[in-house]
């Protein structure tokens, strides 16, 4: 165990390794983070302050926005600091905390997306039983399961990393603490650890992604019997969900399905699921959603009236 504690601090190489380029990128990251906070806060405010919270789809969307806020807040504030700083260090304990928290919140988000797909499947394939199946008790259970499954996924990764020896190199070729860049610093053979990491994250993500795509294919197949207006509304909702799923899962599959000893563009690709997807999610779910736009207007109207009184 003493051998594992030789490294007490890690250093990040950063996103590009070019200080001039990273200073320019700082403003883009700041803009994206402010957009994530603003967009997801507006969705949270709109849903919690309107009748939409009673509907399972928006109940899950509210939790998804909360996850986007929390997940980006575990990564982007430190990235902003490191882009402006000359010394990019993080203690061993803080690194493990970021690893655990990031994977826990990402895991919760993945299972919330599964719950949203299940909700749309029931709404379209079994519309007569929708209110019975998707009652509030079951919705709460699905959210609790998302938190629980995300926790165990993250805990398994953390325990694996904690049992590996870090006794020499301490420069992480990334802008955050993640499994693959940490495995590259381990001072023993990582073949088994790499397989376990892929099984825990990569295989899981691929399986869930295939299940999600299959569910949406079944949904689209069942839309054939719907009226033109009903088909258009369902297609608009499902296309938003599919876009969010693809934006989040495809970069994750690239990152976590390849072995840790392979040279790839992990840190550049990870920008998509840590920053771009959480920033675009509020736009994707509101621009083509008339119900959300009407609710936003009503909530804004109530806020303005209360301020003016």
pLDDT in tens, 50-61: 889 999 999 999
- Identify whether 75 is part of a domain: yes
- Identify whether 1 is part of a domain: no
Q: Which residue has the tokens 């399986």?
A: 207
pLDDT at residue 86, as a whole number: 78
Query: CA 8, CA 93: separation in Å to the nearest integer?
Result: 8
Ramachandran region of residue 222, left (φ > 0), alpha (ψ -120 to 50) or beta?
alpha
State the average pLDDT over residues 214-218.
88
Query: How many Cα neighbours within 13 Å face the side chain of 190?
Result: 21
**For residue 236, pLDDT beyond 80:** no
Distances (CA, A) of 180 to 189, 198, 201: 14, 9, 11
Q: Which of 88, 89, 95 is nearest to 22 (CA)?
A: 88
Distances (CA, A) of 229 to 148, 224, 233, 286: 39, 12, 6, 19
Ramachandran region of residue 29, left (φ > 0), alpha (ψ -120 to 50) or beta?
alpha
30-34, 64-68, 287-291: range with lowest mean pLDDT: 287-291
Containing domain of residue 252, as a range?
A: 9-308
Structurally, the chain folds into a number of domains equal to: 1
Query: How many Cα neighbours within 13 Å face the side chain of 228?
Result: 0
Beta-bridged to residue 12, according to DSSP, are 172
CB atoms within 10 A of CB 233: 15
pLDDT at residue 264, as a whole number: 67
3-7, 60-64, 78-82: range with lowest mean pLDDT: 3-7
Query: DSSP H helical segments within the chain, as ranges?
Result: 19-48, 56-84, 92-125, 130-133, 136-162, 179-183, 191-197, 203-222, 228-256, 266-271, 277-287, 290-308
- Identify whether 4 is part of a domain: no
- Identify whether 29 is part of a domain: yes
Q: Which of 8-22, 268-282, 286-300 has the highest mean pLDDT?
A: 268-282
Burial call 12-28: b when 16+ CB within 10 Å, e when fewer: bebbeeeeeebeebbee
pLDDT at residue 299, as a whole number: 85
- Identify whether 3 is part of a domain: no
Q: What is the CATH number of the domain that holds 112?
A: 1.20.1070.10
pLDDT in tens, 250-275: 999 988 888 776 666 778 888 888 99
């Amino acid at each position: 165990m003493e051998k594992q504690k030789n490294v007490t601090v890690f250093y990040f190489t950063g996103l590009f390794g070019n200080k001039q380029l990273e200073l320019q990128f700082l403003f883009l990251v700041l803009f994206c983070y402010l957009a994530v906070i603003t967009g997801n806060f507006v969705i949270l405010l709109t849903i919690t302050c309107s009748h939409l919270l009673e509907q399972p789809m928006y109940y899950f969307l509210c939790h998804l926005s909360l996850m986007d806020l929390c997940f980006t807040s575990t990564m982007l504030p430190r990235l902003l600091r490191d882009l402006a700083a000359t010394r990019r260090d993080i203690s061993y304990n803080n690194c493990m905390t970021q690893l655990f928290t990031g994977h826990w919140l990402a895991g919760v988000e993945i299972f919330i997306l599964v719950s949203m797909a299940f909700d749309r499947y029931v709404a379209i394939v079994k519309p007569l039983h929708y209110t019975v199946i998707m009652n509030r008790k079951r919705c709460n259970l699905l959210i609790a399961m998302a938190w629980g499954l995300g926790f165990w996924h993250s805990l398994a990764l953390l325990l694996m990393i904690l049992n590996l020896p870090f006794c020499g190199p301490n420069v992480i070729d990334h802008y955050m603490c993640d499994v693959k860049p940490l495995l590259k610093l381990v001072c023993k053979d990582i073949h088994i650890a790499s397989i376990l990491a892929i099984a825990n994250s990569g295989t899981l993500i691929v399986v869930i992604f295939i299940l999600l795509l299959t569910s949406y294919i079944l949904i689209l197949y069942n839309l054939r019997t719907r009226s033109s207006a009903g088909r258009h509304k369902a297609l608009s909702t499902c296309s938003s969900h599919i876009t969010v799923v693809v934006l989040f899962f495809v970069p994750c599959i690239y990152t976590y399905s390849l072995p840790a000893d392979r040279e790839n563009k992990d840190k550049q690709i990870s920008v998509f699921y840590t920053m771009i997807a959480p920033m675009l999610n509020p736009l994707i779910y509101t621009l083509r959603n008339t119900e959300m736009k009407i609710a936003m207007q009503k909530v804004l109207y109530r806020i303005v009236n209360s301020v003016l009184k």
